[in-house]
Structure 1
């Protein structure tokens, strides 16, 4: 197995957490290497809100293979075909968006696990996750335990059912989606609104009460420090595209200030 595939993220977070994660949205192998070399605990390849597809994801995983960085991906939807394909490519953690109910959570668990726990299709003798069959029996023996299944709670329905979702066997982490949640609660673009934060706190309590891991993203008023204090196990405050944008903007602003200073002199 590659260095990234050997990581048991769940165990790492429970013993050495919280963990820091970066969204990968640009689909660039070079950017992936830069991010991995920086020392993140994991990366989250975003297939829901970016144009990154399965083929591109496989190339990003190859770029990660020399680094001790857990390979995670958010699939476009809670679809067993998406889950089967992304796991066969070689990720060891999956985020499922828009989990609204126990049935949704159970569907995600079934799509990620082989029988008897689930209904994941079996092609272990040929897929990338097993070295194209080189270690397929070891993979079958280990993956159900090492897999990290992350269910994203980001709707009023998910909030109403969050305690029951957290209790589903096979759900490893609840992940707060504050931006979608705020929009659906009637506070578009206001993830830190008091009513939204009340909802967020309910998700946080549900995860902790069920003994599940808790993940989330930073918001304007709740950065990594606040999330750590609230007991988050996994934090995603960064994205590759945001790093690039901020760096580019800072460089241009610095140059413009220097040019203005030079003109005055």
Structure 2
């Protein structure tokens, strides 16, 4: 029986009338993923770069969130052809590729996610969840309609190239990573340093001027709201592990106190 895949995050951003807010899944746990999926957020980021995730655990998390009205995105560990092919074949419709600082790198990423002749993605839809084992009609011919590709700017060089990166065909959005950006600017650990915030907003202007949606990671509520007011279309506002850590610490404070 023919199947229809869910709308991509690209389509959701195009239709959104407000900033879309997401949660980061860093635990590698399908249970945590399902808890986050039912919270009412707009989107979720399943992380393979800084989290203990492999292909099987990512697949389990995609399964866990699939029954909820939330859009999952997978951040791959690097912009590598084989990794991107495998993650797309798992059925991830939305991917985020970290550490992209030039338009050439962005073009390479776009090619990795596209079938020939537009790109170099390996053909295996009959064997994989991406096309639901050939139950999605015309998946090979219309593959670009079923996925969206986002890249992450995390360096001062990337900020300087933001307009060119955003204009690359096949790139559906650009996400700012203030943590690594701060490090590249000499402000390690200071994601809300004024110079970092200014750089992020400069990138927003360049990205949106190219007609591309800009996003950012901002766990500080005031920073998140400021970025939304400054043009961010999608913002990551919290992570499962951080919520658990702070909640557990609050329990200890409430019941044990600050002195042991």
- TM (normalized to structure 1)? 0.90
Shift of 1:218: 0.9
Over the residues paired in the alignment, what is the CA RMSD in angstroms?
Answer: 2.2
Equivalent residue runs for 1:63-102 within 5 Å: 63-102=64-103
Kindly report which structure 2 residues correspond to 1:1-265, keeping only aligned pairs within 5 A, or say none: 5-16=5-16, 17-135=18-136, 137-218=137-218, 220=220, 222-257=222-257
Q: Look at both structures and tell me which one has the larger radius of gyration over its CA atoms.
A: 1
Q: For the Cα contact (< 8 Å) 1:191–1:219, is it kept in 2?
A: no
Question: How far apart, in 1, do the equivalents of 2:219 and 2:236 lie?
Answer: 10
Distance 1:252 1:172 in 2: 43
Encode CA deviations 1:58-80: one digit per residue, 9 max, x unaligned.
11111112122212111111101
Please tell me whether the aligned partners of residues 192 and 223 of structure 2 are also in contact (alpha carbons under 8 angstroms).
no
**Alignment check: 8 A CA contact 1:7 1:69 kept:** no
Q: 1:31 to 1:11 in 2, by over 3 A?
A: same
Q: Retained in 1: the 8 A contact 2:23–2:41?
A: yes
Instruction: Tell me if the contact between 1:111 and 1:119 (Cα under 8 Å) persists in the aligned partners.
Output: yes
- Identify which range, 238-247 or 63-72, moves more after superposition: 63-72
Q: What displacement does 1:194 show?
A: 2.3
Structure 2 residue runs without a partner (length 5+):
none
Give the drift of 1:13.
1.9
Deviations 1:78-114 (A, max 9, x none): 1011110100001111111110111100010000111
Q: 1 or 2, which has the higher helix percentage?
A: 1
Take 2:178 and 2:226, find their aligned partners in 1: how far apart are those partners? 14
Q: Helix, strand or coil for the counterpart of 2:216?
A: strand
Whether the 8 Å CA contact 1:166–1:212 is kept in 2: the answer is yes
Q: Is the 8 A contact 1:9 1:146 kept in 2?
A: no
Gaps in structure 1 of 5+ consecutive residues: 261-265
Structure 1 residue 195: Cα displacement: 2.0
Residue 142 of structure 1 and its aligned partner are, at CA, apart by 4.3
- Of 80-89 and 191-200, deviating more is 191-200
Cα–Cα, structure 1 residues 150 and 129, in superposed 2: closer, same or farther, change >3 Å? same
